[in-house]
Structure 1
Amino acid sequence: MANQDEVNRANLSGRVHPSQRFAVLGWDFWPSLVIVLACSWVVGYAYKRAQDINMLSEHNEFIKPVSVFDDLLYLIPVLLPIAWFLRVCIRRIVEVSRGRLDVIGGRTHDVGDRRKTPVLPQCPLVLYTTYSRGNNPYYHLQAGGKSHAVDRDMHAKIKPEGNNTAFVTPITKRLINVAPSP
């Protein structure tokens, strides 16, 4: 694990620290990659089977030749997930390879309970809390016009009603780190 001061220095310079690469990829990158590979295998297998059937049809008059492009309608349910999840994977890989972060700094306004204040003020950073049915608190930070879920460790680093800096990925707008401003 990297030193938090080293991570904050890298983030303040607008760069992703190497220990934060998995946070940039996110938990949904790996299932998306598996879906892309599985669907690509299905399309490749269907293409290979169509070639095998066409080779058999040359020697047997009862086998009708098959064209993959004629049956493209049947491949659409497989091609759409490939396109969507490939887009997800490429965006995350581009963010990791570029290694840049957007730095959003300023005074953090702590609203507290969102139920008491349904409209959030227009501040650079807004911290608020929502509650589950069991009254468990969930912390959120609005930075750059998007609301991000904040875990307890990151919430402990935020200075309410103080100056903080949020670090967000430029493409997917994923919150990577929050640090008190110097």
Structure 2
Amino acid sequence: MAGQAEVELANRQGRLHPSQRGKVLDGSFWLAAIFAVAGVVTAVVVPATTIDTRFGAGLASSSAAAALGTAIPILLLAVWLAFVCWRRLADLRAGRLVVITGWTRDFGRQRPDPACPIALSTRLSKGMNEHFYLTAGGKEFQLYSKELRARIQAERVNAVYLTPRTKLLINVLPA
């Protein structure tokens, strides 16, 4: 396990630390990858198993059209999911991070000002639980990690580290 100082040094140099790869290849990546593979397999297997030529050419062409009508949307969805996975892998291969540096304001339960480079805000859910959000670079991130939320200091300059293509929040450090 890498030390926090080593991770921060890599981030400050604009690099993704190897211990942070799990943030890029998280559960949503693996779910998209599984569905992409399953979609390709289904798009190939469905037409191959539904075309039955024993009843003549007329029935074979109608079953082929029905099979392709099912397979094409599945294949398009699989291609889109594969593209999403490719973007994450490209971020991982590049290993570079985008840095957004600026004054951080804590707006509490008010709506953040879009002109503020980095903003913190809090919202209550229906169950009256507080959810913390960080807005940087025009994108809003929910802060699930309490340790990350505790590290972000309002009313000072912070640096937000994002992946270049997918804009995933990797780290926030005082600048």
Normalised TM-score (structure 1): 0.83
The residue aligned with 2:94 is: 98
Counterpart code for 1:109: R
State the identity %: 39
Cα deviation for residue 68 of structure 1 reads: 9.1
Give the Cα–Cα distance (whole angstroms) in 2 for the partners of residues 90 and 97 of structure 1: 10
Deviation (angstroms), 1:120: 1.7
Q: How does 1:45-60 map to 2 (within 5 A)?
A: 45-49=45-49, 53=52, 57=53
RMSD: 2.2
Shift of 1:100: 1.1
Residue 173 of structure 2 aligns to which amino acid in structure 1? Answer: A
Using the TM superposition, give the Cα deviation of residue 83 of structure 1 relative to its aligned residue in structure 2, in angstroms. Answer: 1.9
When residues 43 and 164 of structure 1 are mapped into structure 2, their CA distance, relative to the original with a 3 A threshold, is same
Kindly name which structure, 1 or 2, has the bigger radius of gyration based on alpha carbons: 1
Tell me the distance in 2 between the aligned counterparts of 1:93 and 1:24. 8
Residues paired across the two proteins, number: 171
Using structure 2 for the length normalisation, give the TM-score.
0.86
Match 1:135 to one of 125, 128, 133: 128
Give, in angstroms, the shift of residue 148 of structure 1: 0.7
- Structure 2 Cα separation of the partners of residues 157 and 68 of structure 1: 60
> Which residue, 148, 154, 164 being the options, matches 1:154?
148
After TM superposition, the runs of 4+ consecutive aligned structure 1 residues lying more than 3 A away are: 46-51, 62-71
2:108 is the counterpart of 1:112: yes
What are the superposed Cα offsets for residues 57-89 of structure 1, whole Å, 9 maximum, x if unpaired? 5xx6x4435599745323223112212211111
How far apart, in 2, do the equivalents of 1:84 and 1:121 lie? 31
Matched residue SS, 2:155? coil
User: Which of the numbers 142, 145, 150 marks the counterpart of 2:138?
Assistant: 145
- Quick one: distance in 1 between partners of 2:40 and 2:90? 21
Which stretches in structure 2 are left out of the alignment for 5+ residues? Answer: none
Flag structure 1 segments of 5+ consecutive residues without an equivalent: none
